[in-house]
């Protein structure tokens, strides 16, 4: 395996001293890049995800074109429900839908949790190929959706602003909800371990809809499964947890086996540092909508953000995925502003 030429991300996750923070962007491989749009016009979504050569090409685009310090494999969180036996449809511009939702104990019992690596071999092949193509330039990030977020899709069957059905399911059938969450957790752990074996240097767990829960409910239906994943992976690779919108859980999550926590823009860097007692690497938290501002303004805001977090134990990133309407040179300006950052200025 080639030695990493740029290991800033891994250094930051190990809390080692860095000359500047590493930078990458959630959803960096995708819809704001003209070259991605060309592939999107040619191949449907799951063809892009399930063809290792296409997934690799898409994963490398932001490394080549935007200059980020890490590649994140092009895939989707809903490959896990697929591997568990559920159909997932993806319509351009509409988002995902699952024709058959989970409603009963029988539905949960019927879900497959075996052979994740076999069912998801295409992701592992894409990771191995990407690792080879990267040739040690930057680390490679693998990822999975968190159990609570996947439960949301498996119960609702599509995206939602409020996730009422999923929450109703959790609150009225807690035992069933926990058995589903545990099944998802079991296969996710196996899947992430396989990703590390295939070449992922670190893994991120996306809990995009965790913020729909109250602090007490997050602690019951989301946190235990995030911690279980972090514990299971801690000897394999550094784990970054990103439960969006759950600043209230920062203190407890910072005492977990995770190496990093992603945060969104609803909390200040100072408060996040205070709650985590600076004992874990923080990642975030630039609002992607701000990437539409003029470039000098973006650069100014990025500098202020790093000043506020501090350059150490920190990964510069967005507070959620980059949006399709962001001009590539604005994304580049975000990355360049981090690269130009001088510690101590």
User: Annotated binding site: which residue ranges?
Assistant: 27-31, 46, 76, 153, 208, 320
Do residues 70 and 335 make contact, with C-beta atoms less than 8 angstroms apart? Answer: no
Nearest-CA neighbor of 98 among 50, 47, 159, 143?
A: 159
The answer to whether 48 is a known catalytic residue is: no
Identify the bridge partners of residue 311 per DSSP, sorted by sequence position.
none
- The reply to whether 197 belongs to the active site is no
Residue 27 among the catalytic residues: yes
Catalytic residue among 7, 69, 76, 201: 76
Place of tokens 């767990």: 205
- Three-class secondary structure assignment of the chain: CCCCCCCHHHHHHCCCCCCCCCECCCCCCCCCCHHHHHHHHHCCHHHHHHCHHHHHHHHHHHHHHCCCCCEECCCCCCHHHHHCCCCCEEECCCEEECCCCCCCHHHHHHCCCCCHHHHCHHHHHHHHHHHHHHCCCCCEEEEEECHHHHHHHHHHCECCCCCHHHHHHHHHCHHHHHHHHHHHHHHHHHHHHHHHHHCCCEEEEEECCHHHCCHHHHHHHCHHHHHHHHHHHCCCCCEEEEECCCHHHHHHHHCCCCCEEEECCCCCHHHHHHHHCCCCEEEEEECHHHHHCCHHHHHHHHHHHHHHHCCCCEEEEECCCCCCCCCHHHHHHHHHHHHCCCCCC
Bind-site residues for substrate? 27-31, 46, 76, 153, 208, 320
CB 283 within 8 A of CB 240: yes
Residues taking part in catalysis: 27, 31, 40, 76, 153
């Amino acid at each position: 395996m080639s030695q990493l030429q740029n290991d800033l991300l891994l250094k930051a996750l190990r809390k080692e001293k860095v000359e500047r923070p590493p930078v990458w962007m959630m959803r960096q491989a995708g819809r704001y890049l003209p070259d991605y749009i060309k592939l999107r016009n040619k191949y449907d979504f799951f063809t892009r995800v399930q063809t290792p050569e296409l997934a690799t090409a898409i994963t490398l685009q932001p490394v080549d074109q935007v200059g980020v310090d890490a590649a994140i494999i092009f895939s989707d969180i809903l490959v896990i429900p697929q591997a568990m036996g559920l159909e997932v449809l993806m319509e351009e511009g509409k988002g995902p839908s699952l024709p058959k939702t989970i409603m009963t104990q029988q539905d949960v019992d019927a879900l497959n949790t075996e052979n994740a690596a076999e069912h998801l071999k295409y992701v592992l092949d894409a990771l191995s190929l990407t690792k080879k193509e990267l040739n040690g330039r930057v680390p490679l990030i693998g990822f999975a959706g968190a159990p609570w977020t996947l439960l949301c899709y498996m119960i609702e069957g599509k995206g939602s602003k409020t996730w009422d059905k999923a929450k109703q399911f959790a609150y009225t059938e807690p035992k069933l909800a926990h058995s589903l969450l545990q099944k998802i957790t079991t296969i996710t752990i196996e899947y992430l371990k396989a990703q590390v074996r295939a070449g992922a240097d670190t893994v991120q767990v996306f809990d995009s809809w965790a913020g729909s829960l109250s602090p007490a409910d997050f602690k019951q239906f989301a946190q235990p499964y995030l911690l279980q994943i972090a514990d299971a992976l801690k000897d394999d690779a550094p784990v970054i947890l990103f439960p969006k919108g759950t600043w209230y859980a920062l203190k407890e999550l910072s005492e977990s086996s995770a190496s990093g926590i992603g945060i969104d823009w609803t909390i200040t860097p100072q408060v996040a540092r205070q709650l985590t007692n600076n004992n874990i690497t923080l990642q975030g938290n630039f609002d992607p909508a701000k990437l539409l501002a003029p470039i000098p303004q973006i650069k100014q805001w990025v500098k202020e953000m790093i000043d506020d977090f501090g350059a150490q134990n920190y990964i510069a990133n967005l507070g959620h995925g980059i949006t399709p309407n962001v001009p590539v040179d604005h994304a580049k300006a975000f990355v360049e502003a981090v690269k130009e950052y001088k510690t101590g200025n």
